[in-house]
Structure 1
């Protein structure tokens, strides 16, 4: 039995689709707040546990008889602090994993462990602490150590399309890895379907190349056939924008801390290898995903 959290989210949905498409006959159970958000083709092929996977009763029921779990904490930008979002949300699951004898967990996490800035990197610091909590349960754990997602630029799709600009609080010439969520889901699904691994490891997924946001803007310009530029946003403007869209001051500050840590080299500590390089280029992502997203 494979349990998948966030099955209607960006990564969880793609992971679920890949597990079901593999045709292995593995039984699949999903935890979802609203079962109506699952497509009918999915509902007919999975067992549904309705509720939050931050709830003790829900995860206890969902993990019963499970061999593997896909773990991703949902975003909660209005939360009062980072612990509430990451370790706090995960603690009931950590207890249930041990009680129900789950063997393997694949978790969505971040790059940065062992770097000088990892302890003051906002969201990243909290994500690494969550990894430690899960690993301490004794399950086999694979932490998908991720850079920024290409798909996160979809949050600025209207700004890009209508004003030809996107903004983040990082220098435009800072080169760093970026990966596509489709590639993350592919690796997650493979790990969930593989019952041969154990122990605790990080699995870095770095995309195929390091790019700066200035270079991304040029690639977008080529694909969209119109000028697109990147602008470095001030920290004050960035946090004000997040708060304006509903983030708590603490979570807005945590997001800024993350970007400042990335500018200081947070994502550069892991060497690129054939294993850590995922296939989707930024140009291919723009052609396949960005150009098809709603205006």
Structure 2
């Protein structure tokens, strides 16, 4: 039995389908079972609730061979670090209590980074705590998600531009969520591995944001430019969306670390995933742009 948290999210939903297609028995932990596709709902065991609740995990983990772990974002959390650690403490204790043999979690590239890195630092702290569970543990160490650009489709259509805080002429490591799901599925279905390790997983490109803009322009058949914004502009935009000062600081630290090269050292050891940025634009970004136009 494989237990999957966040089964309706970008990664979890793709993972569940891969596991089911492979004939695996799957149990999901979800806050709202109605969000599961009916075809999925008919094939999985469902435990409703939050996976930072010990009573929920006590229903989900008996008989589990492996667990997929992802901490859902919570912009309203007073502290990103405490949000991640609350989940990690509960998860590690439950894994130990139910003797789950293998644990795979979604984390960040850049382990060993010593400066504050907001959400990424919280992910590293989560890894350290989950590693105490006694299970064989793999941390999927990931860079910038290509899917983050889906949130900028309106700006691309209306202003022919997308914006980040990083330098336009420096390579930015990226990954497609389909490849994260594929890697997680492989680990969860072949349990021959042991011990604990971070597994950096990067897409095959070393594009700069300006290079990404060129690819987007070609695939969407419209001019698209990259516009670098300052950290202050980014913080102001977050506050305009109602985020509190602590969450703004956490997100600013996250992007400052990204701008500072937190992912770069992992290029040397990263597993290179299949989906290139152009392929992702053609198969994901372009259909999304057409669907919302």
Q: Same fold (TM over 0.5)?
A: yes
Find the counterpart in structure 2 of residue 282 from structure 1.
277
Checking the alignment, whether the CA contact within 8 Å between 1:206 and 1:272 is kept in structure 2 is no
CA contact (8 A) 1:174 1:263 kept: no
Aligned residues of 1:223 and 1:287 also touching (Cα < 8 A): yes
Q: Could you say which residue in structure 2 is the equivalent of 1:225?
A: 221
Counterpart of 2:48 in structure 1 is: 50
Matches within 5 A, 1:4-83: 4-23=4-23, 26-83=24-81
Further displaced range: 171-180 or 125-134: 171-180
**Residue in 1 that maps onto 2:189:** 193
Distance 1:209 1:94 in 2: 35
TM-score, normalised via structure 2 length:
0.96
User: Unpaired runs of 5+ in structure 2?
Assistant: none
**How many residue pairs get matched?**
290
Q: What is the match of residue 91 of structure 1? A: 89
Instruction: Map 1:235-246 to 2 at 5 A.
Output: 235-246=231-242
Q: CA RMSD in A?
A: 1.2
Whether the aligned pair in 2 keeps the contact of 1:60 and 1:93 (CA below 8 Å) is no
Question: Does residue 154 of structure 1 match 2:150?
Answer: yes
* 8 Å contact kept, 1:77–1:252: no
Cα shift at 1:272: 4.0
1:248-287 mapped onto 2 (5 Å cutoff)? 248-272=244-268, 276-287=271-282
TM-score by length of 1: 0.95
Deviation string, structure 1 residues 134-188 (Cα, Å, up to 9, x no partner): 0011111100000000011001111112211111111111212101000110000
> In 2, Cα distance between the equivalents of 1:161 and 1:71?
35
Aligned pair partner of 2:202 in 168, 184, 206:
206
